[in-house]
Amino acid sequence: MKHRATINDVAAAAGVSVSTVSKAVNGRYGVSSQTVDRVLAVVVELGYESSLIASSMRSRTTGVIGVLVADFEPFSAEILKGVGQALRHSRHDLLAYSGSHGSADGWERRSLSRLSGTLIDGAIMVTPTVVDAGTEVPVVAIDPHTGPADLPTVESDSFGGALQATRHLIELGHTRIGFIAGRPDLRSSIARDAGYRRALTEAGLAVDPTLVGSGSYRADAVREAALEMLARADRPSAIFAANDITAIEIMRVGAELGLDVPGDLSIIGFDDIPEGSKSTPALSTVRQPMQMLGAEAARLLLALMQGETPDPIHLTLPTRLVPRATTAPPRTSAAGIR
Amino acid sequence: MKHRATINDVAAAAGVSVSTVSKAVNGRYGVSSQTVDRVLAVVVELGYESSLIASSMRSRTTGVIGVLVADFEPFSAEILKGVGQALRHSRHDLLAYSGSHGSADGWERRSLSRLSGTLIDGAIMVTPTVVDAGTEVPVVAIDPHTGPADLPTVESDSFGGALQATRHLIELGHTRIGFIAGRPDLRSSIARDAGYRRALTEAGLAVDPTLVGSGSYRADAVREAALEMLARADRPSAIFAANDITAIEIMRVGAELGLDVPGDLSIIGFDDIPEGSKSTPALSTVRQPMQMLGAEAARLLLALMQGETPDPIHLTLPTRLVPRATTAPPRTSAAGIR
DNA sequence: CTGTTAGCGCCTTCAC
DNA sequence: GTGAAGGCGCTAACAG
């Protein structure tokens, strides 16, 4: 493990001062071209690269955009692809950071604090909950929390998507339709809940509170809620899950209970993550344009960073029903309605 | 944009010196518990978080693991998921960095130099080409370049996979089988080329050099090679592409040329990225366990960082044929052979 | 044109 | 138990 060359090493080897090296490397004026040449030759020879950290401490601008996530799971990975695509030709480096491991929640503020003001010039936060606007750098939130929408946001039409999903089940003939909710602090989760209820209501179906479980997008909570719901004699014949991860976990629980999907139980998710289309049977879902969420967030952020104030500061992208193999008419068609 | 609280703000507000704050925050000995309490109260009140950057400059260890990629495309995104999974319970933060935008190539060394020794305690590099071992932090390479295998690597069985892919085409009855190669500097690309040739040879088919194009995993190069190959009168009836991105681009070219896939042209890729199974028709491919590559790399790196010297320092993971809808027997079965 | 002098925010001796 | 001083690698004023 050899020590990497610092600006001091270069300066010493080239026989100049560190500030001269700094100027030469960064193409500042006020250095003779022959000095520049000599310095750059040494730079190549020593394999010197300026430390991102050290320079960011002084210069207040780094050309790096940060994407802050709780975790690298399928949803945030798709977002990341979209951001990467949008930034590919923008001479900005991209830094994705996941620092959830500290405290249970509040990762957003923590990560942002630790990186902002120094390392990154702007940030995109994925499913953040507690973020007070008024940080040092511009921030755009994707699929944000409930509460005052102080900062620019990009999300998809969760209400409309939930409506489509639930209507799809109703049209198949289901009347006992369960819902396993997501993180109650996310605006999108609440909208999906609302869409579910609206669809039932408009079809003249009552909302049975015992058919609504809370999953919080966490496997253990989902499992518990699903078990409770499916072990009952009057179990639902279909479940709408607040996202695909949740849906896949429910499929697992259903299998353990010996239920046939979609024969005994229809399941529909939300997101359309890659993992869903590869499950067996392939998961029916509502597609939200995740990569586009990322790309739009990047565009917004770029504008913000250039001091512009983009006009629509809250973007909502459309969702689309993607029926696959986990939804079907209920087997014992006591359906009746419609 | 309010300025975030620094250690100085905390010190001033608590009426102590910065060094006391540092000790209190980091749980060092030599501070009275009541002072600690007071300091921590101020920390909470001000929402102070130590700057990752500043502390990393002094402390030489940050608890952050870096994943260095050229770009956030499907392959590296899958890797990232795997790394994230492996690190989920390891109290390490994860930082993914893409800094390709500077110079054409050599991003690996540049990114590593800029981050290592300060920001990250260890690095996983995805498809790196030029990396001299002997950096400041432990490094593991995924799908590495050709040349001396100085550093620990994780890759999948490209030769075997290519063999399976090409045999699959041969078994379907194809005899004119093209190949569009990947980045010639990657060991995996060369192995796929070799597997292709071996499969042809063992089936008694000659390798026609005009049926081998170079794509370098770049859309424009792939397009050019595919156009040239497919515009000919004696065009191949099947093409094996060195990865799925390449295969998808070939599908596009085929469509433009009015070729029916798989009727006029069978195509098989390599990787099994999510995008492949969603194409129309669904892409036949060879699956490599991308998430597992990431997870294994993380495990290796963790061991390295703890000073251990893991025994198998080069891992090769198995691949598996996934025939889907883009491969079929040739229409005008002039096949004959076998 | 080039070198010197200050820090950026933090952590670590080393005195008090 | 606490504070002052020094320095990590770099850049941005200033001098020379």
Is B219 inside a domain boundary? Answer: yes
Please report whether residue A180 resides in a domain.
Answer: yes
Choosing from B253, B269, B287, the residue where a domain stops is B287
Same domain, A165 and A279: yes
Distance D2 C1' – B118 CA (angstroms): 29
CATH number at residue A274: 3.40.50.2300
Cβ contacts of A2 on chain B, cutoff 8 Å: 134-136
Averaged pLDDT, A212-235: 96
pLDDT at A62 over 60: yes
Residues 6+ apart with CB under 8 A from A327: A168, A169, A172, A238, A262, A266, A267, A268, A284
Q: What is the pLDDT of residue A133?
A: 60
pLDDT of residue A79: 98
Burial class (CB in 10 A: 0-12, 13-18, 19+), A29: exposed
Closest alpha carbon to C1' of D5, residue:
B19
Query: Could you report how far apart the first and last alpha carbons of chain B are, in Å?
Result: 73
The least confident of A197-206, B98-107, B137-146, B283-292 is B98-107
Which residues lie near nucleic chain C, judged by CB under 7 A? A 15-20, 23, 30-32, 34-35, 57-58, 117-118; B 6-8, 18-19, 22-23, 25-26, 28, 48, 50-51, 54-55, 57-59
DSSP B89: T
Asked if the model's pLDDT at residue A255 lies above 90, the reply is yes
| Strand D proximal to B241 Cβ, under 7 A | no
Choose among A49, A73, A88: nearest Cβ to B81: A73
pLDDT at A4: 82
B102 pLDDT higher than 80: no
The strand D neighbours among A residues 28-47, by Cβ under 7 Å, are: 28
When mean pLDDT is compared across A57-66, A188-197, A325-334, the lowest value belongs to A325-334
Q: Please state whether beta strands B320-322 and B285-287 pair in parallel, antiparallel, or not at all (unpaired).
A: antiparallel
Confidence of residue A338 (pLDDT cuts 50, 70, 90): very low
Judge contact between B27 and B39, C-beta under 8 A. no
Calculate how close chain A gets to B329, using CA atoms only, in Å: 25
Q: What is the mean pLDDT of residues A2-12?
A: 87
What mean pLDDT do residues B53-67 have?
Answer: 89
B233 found inside a domain: yes
Q: Answer yes or no: is B106 within a domain.
A: no
Bigger pLDDT: A299 vs A146: A299
Q: Is B255 helix (H, G, I), strand (E, B) or coil?
A: helix
- Is position A294 within any domain? no
- Chain D: bases < 7 Å from a protein Cβ: 1-13
Predicted local distance difference test score (pLDDT) of residue B317: 98
> Taking chain A, what is the end-to-end CA distance rounded to the nearest angstrom?
73
**B82 to chain A, closest Cα gap in Å:** 9
Confidence band (pLDDT; 50, 70, 90) for A3? confident
β-pair partners for B212: B179
Does residue A162 share a domain with residue A51?
no
Q: Which domain holds residue B27?
A: 1-60
B227: Cβ contacts below 8 Å, ≥ 6 apart: B253, B257
Candidate from A95, A109, A118 with C-beta closest to B97: A95
pLDDT digits (tens, 9 = 90+) for A228-243: 999 999 999 999 999 9
Last residue of a domain, one of A271, A287, A303: A287
Among the candidates A267, A287, A307, a domain finishes at: A287
Checking if the pLDDT of B40 tops 60, the result is: yes
Q: How far is the CA of B60 from the C1' of D5 (A)?
A: 20
- Evaluate whether residue B318 is within a structural domain: no
Inter-chain touch A53–B49, beta carbons under 8 Å: no
Are A163 and A272 contained in the same domain? yes
Taking the CA of residue B54 and the C1' sugar atom of nucleotide C16, their distance in angstroms comes to 27
Residue B167 lies in a domain: yes
* Spatial distance between the Cα atoms of B236 and A19, rounded to a whole number of angstroms: 61
For B103, counting Cβ atoms within 10 Å of its Cβ (0-12 exposed, 13-18 middle, 19+ buried), the class is: exposed
The pLDDT assigned to A112 comes to 85
Q: By C-alpha distance, which of B83, B278, B72, B75 is closest to A274?
A: B278
**Per-residue pLDDT tens digits for B194-236:** 999 999 999 999 999 999 999 999 999 999 999 999 999 999 9
pLDDT of residue B338: 39
Is A337 a residue whose pLDDT tops 50?
Answer: no
Kindly state whether residue A322 falls inside one of the protein's structural domains: no
Rounded-to-integer distance, Cα B313 and Cα B64, Å? 22
Segment B232-291, tens digit of pLDDT = 999 999 999 999 999 999 999 999 999 999 999 999 999 999 999 999 999 999 999 999
> Looking at CA atoms only, how far is residue A166 from chain B in angstroms?
24
Say which residue the tokens 């199974």 belong to: B277
Closest partner CB to B51 (pick from A77, A94, A118): A118
List the CATH number of the domain containing B11: 1.10.260.40
Q: Sheet containing B266-268: which strands, arranged edge to edge?
A: B212-214, B177-181, B238-241, B266-268
> In the prediction, which pLDDT does B135 show?
75
Cα separations in angstroms, A285 against A143, A240, B90: 18, 9, 33
Are A1 and B137 an interchain contact pair (Cβ–Cβ within 8 Å)?
Answer: yes
Residues pairing with A268 in the sheet: A240, A284
Tokens of A156: 């998809």
Q: Is the Cβ–Cβ distance between A38 and A57 less than 8 Å?
A: no
What the block records as the tokens of B26 is 């980091």
Distances (CA, A) of A113 to A36, A106, A141, B50, B231: 37, 11, 15, 8, 56
Pairing of strands B93-98, B64-69: parallel
Contact A115 B52 (CB under 8 A): yes
CA-to-CA distance for B92 and B114, rounded, in angstroms?
20
Instruction: Give Cβ neighbours of residue B333 (< 8 Å, ≥ 6 apart).
Output: B173
The total number of structural domains that make up chain A: 2
Predicted local confidence at residue B336, as pLDDT:
43
Predicted local confidence at residue A145, as pLDDT: 83
pLDDT tens for A117-160 read: 679 999 999 998 766 666 788 999 999 887 666 789 999 999 99
